[in-house]
Amino acid sequence: MVMQNRRQFLLSSTVLGALAGSALRGRAANAVHPAPLTLGVASYTFRKFTRAQALAFTRRLGIHQICFKSFHLPLDSSPKECAAAAAEAKAAGITLWGGGVITLKTPGQVRQAFQYARAAGMRCIVGVPYPEVMDLVEQHIKTFDIAVAIHNHGPGDHLYPLPTDAYRRIQGRDPRLGLCVDIGHTVRAGGDLREQLRHCRDRLLDLHVKDVNEAGPRGHAVEVGRGVIDIPAFLRTLREIGYQHLLSFEYEPHPDDPLPGLAESVGYVRGVLATLA
């Protein structure tokens, strides 16, 4: 059924795209179009590979933004090592925009994460800040001018199973304290993905894009387009709410050979986005 729906979408999109083409050509030349969404990669995808390999894979996919997990830049790296990692990414034509997911439970972990991010020139920390250090996290955001995007982890996460659980804790705080919504974990936790995104729209800084085979705690990640998440509806919602940040692919299956499944996922999302443009 999933594959049938996927084929029906692609077929209907081709037909509708052809029909819409003539109508679009007839619109005023100064019509306003939404800004294109930017694709990125969470390097957890390449957790079994070196940093150089992770960058090479990302470049092969035509993606130019990456968020390093500690596999590819350890949290205790020296400032010189952090700068070298950023330079390596830049040489590959890729921006090291963030780091994470990073646990922020103690004052020491908060200080380390921000110093690490600053040394690497990162714009964002994707993290899990505990309530007891939230004030300190906000202070560091103001001092370092580095954003923090809280990552929800679905069933079993006692802090932030859903994006709205994090959203409630950051009301009234610095706008650079926002969310990285993991769409797979959101669906696994029973959340209505589209409503979660609409509710949290003013705090969305990043999205971890994936698909899952089941909308429940037993669900596991699969290639985007093969699971139960309505990806076209998800992407339409992003257009509706004016989201203009990253779509970061976090591909979890097949850690020893992630590139084929990741390429399929990226291609599917690009195809859907093309029909929405």
Give all domains of the chain, ordered by start, each with its CATH number: 36-276 (3.20.20.150)
Q: Measured between alpha carbons, how far is 115 from 95 in angstroms, rounded to an integer?
A: 18
Q: Split the chain (277 residues) into runs of 10 and give each run's mean pLDDT.
A: 48 41 34 66 98 98 98 98 98 98 98 98 98 98 98 96 98 98 98 98 98 96 98 97 96 97 98 93
The pLDDT value recorded for residue 6 is: 53
CA distances from 128 to 84, 113, 224 (A): 26, 11, 25
The pLDDT value recorded for residue 9 is: 47
Could you tell me the pTM of the whole model?
A: 0.87
The pLDDT value recorded for residue 142 is: 98
Structure tokens at 54: 């992770």
The pLDDT value recorded for residue 11 is: 44
Structure tokens at 113: 């994460």
Is residue 275 exposed (0-12), middle (13-18) or buried (19+ Cβ within 10 Å)? middle
The strand pairing partners of 96, in sequence order, are 66
Q: Which of 195, 179, 178, 198 is nearest to 187 (CA)?
A: 195
The pLDDT value recorded for residue 271 is: 97
The pLDDT value recorded for residue 219 is: 96
- The phi and psi torsions of 35 (rounded to 5 degrees) equal -65, 145
Q: Where are the alpha helices (DSSP H) in 145-192?
A: 163-169, 183-188
Element (H, E) at 64: none
The pLDDT value recorded for residue 277 is: 79
Asked if 98 and 126 touch (Cβ cutoff 8 Å), the reply is yes
Tokens 């669906």 belong to residue: 187
Asked if 227 and 211 touch (Cβ cutoff 8 Å), the reply is yes
CA distances from 157 to 35, 154, 186 (A): 34, 6, 11
